[in-house]
A = this chain, B = another copy of it.
Amino acid sequence: MYGKDRIYKKVELIGVSSNGIEAAIETAISRADTSLDKLSWFEVQNIRGHIGEDGGISEYQVVIKVAFELKE
Protein backbone atom coordinates (compact mmCIF):
# COMPACT_ATOMS: atom_id res chain seq x y z
CA MET A 1 0.00 0.00 0.00
CA TYR A 2 2.81 2.41 0.90
CA GLY A 3 4.17 4.66 -1.84
CA LYS A 4 0.85 5.21 -3.61
CA ASP A 5 -0.70 8.72 -3.72
CA ARG A 6 -3.77 8.81 -1.50
CA ILE A 7 -5.66 11.01 0.95
CA TYR A 8 -7.16 10.51 4.41
CA LYS A 9 -9.60 12.64 6.34
CA LYS A 10 -9.76 13.02 10.13
CA VAL A 11 -12.95 13.82 12.02
CA GLU A 12 -13.24 14.65 15.71
CA LEU A 13 -15.74 12.62 17.75
CA ILE A 14 -16.63 12.29 21.43
CA GLY A 15 -17.68 8.88 22.63
CA VAL A 16 -19.62 8.62 25.88
CA SER A 17 -20.03 5.51 28.04
CA SER A 18 -20.51 4.68 31.68
CA ASN A 19 -18.29 1.61 31.27
CA GLY A 20 -14.81 3.16 31.17
CA ILE A 21 -12.37 4.69 28.72
CA GLU A 22 -12.13 1.86 26.19
CA ALA A 23 -15.92 1.55 26.12
CA ALA A 24 -16.26 5.27 25.37
CA ILE A 25 -13.79 4.96 22.49
CA GLU A 26 -15.68 1.95 21.14
CA THR A 27 -18.95 3.86 21.27
CA ALA A 28 -17.50 6.59 19.08
CA ILE A 29 -15.92 4.10 16.67
CA SER A 30 -19.02 1.96 16.28
CA ARG A 31 -21.25 4.92 15.47
CA ALA A 32 -18.69 6.43 13.14
CA ASP A 33 -18.42 3.14 11.34
CA THR A 34 -21.94 3.32 10.05
CA SER A 35 -21.70 6.77 8.52
CA LEU A 36 -18.12 6.98 7.25
CA ASP A 37 -16.12 4.97 4.76
CA LYS A 38 -13.67 2.38 5.97
CA LEU A 39 -12.04 3.68 9.16
CA SER A 40 -8.29 3.29 9.62
CA TRP A 41 -7.13 4.50 13.03
CA PHE A 42 -8.02 6.77 15.95
CA GLU A 43 -6.06 9.10 18.24
CA VAL A 44 -7.22 9.98 21.76
CA GLN A 45 -7.30 13.77 22.23
CA ASN A 46 -8.80 14.17 25.66
CA ILE A 47 -10.31 12.07 28.49
CA ARG A 48 -13.01 13.61 30.64
CA GLY A 49 -16.01 12.49 32.63
CA HIS A 50 -19.13 13.50 34.51
CA ILE A 51 -19.65 13.05 38.25
CA GLY A 52 -23.16 12.18 39.37
CA GLU A 53 -25.29 13.21 42.33
CA ASP A 54 -23.88 10.30 44.36
CA GLY A 55 -20.29 11.51 43.88
CA GLY A 56 -19.42 8.62 41.56
CA ILE A 57 -18.39 8.73 37.91
CA SER A 58 -21.57 8.57 35.87
CA GLU A 59 -19.85 8.48 32.49
CA TYR A 60 -16.54 8.77 30.64
CA GLN A 61 -16.29 11.20 27.70
CA VAL A 62 -13.37 10.53 25.38
CA VAL A 63 -12.51 12.92 22.55
CA ILE A 64 -10.87 11.11 19.62
CA LYS A 65 -9.87 11.82 16.06
CA VAL A 66 -10.84 9.09 13.62
CA ALA A 67 -9.08 8.81 10.25
CA PHE A 68 -10.37 7.10 7.10
CA GLU A 69 -9.19 6.96 3.52
CA LEU A 70 -11.07 9.02 0.92
CA LYS A 71 -11.85 6.80 -2.02
CA GLU A 72 -11.65 8.15 -5.55
Q: Which residues of B contact A49 (CB under 8 A)?
A: 25, 41-42
Q: How far is the CB of A53 from chain B (nearest CB, A)?
A: 8
CA of A15 to CA of B6, assembled, Å: 6
Question: How many copies make up the complex?
Answer: 12
Other-chain contact of A5, B27, B42, B53 (Cβ < 8 Å) = B27
- Total interface residues in chain A, CB < 8 Å: 57
Q: Is the CB of A65 within 8 A of B12?
A: yes
Partner of A10, one of B4, B14, B38, B60: B14
Residue of B nearest to A52 (CB): B2
Q: Knowing that A3-B50, A22-B57, A40-B51 touch, tell me 8 more A-B residue pairs with CB under 8 angstroms.
A: A3-B58, A3-B59, A7-B28, A8-B16, A25-B57, A29-B55, A30-B55, A33-B51
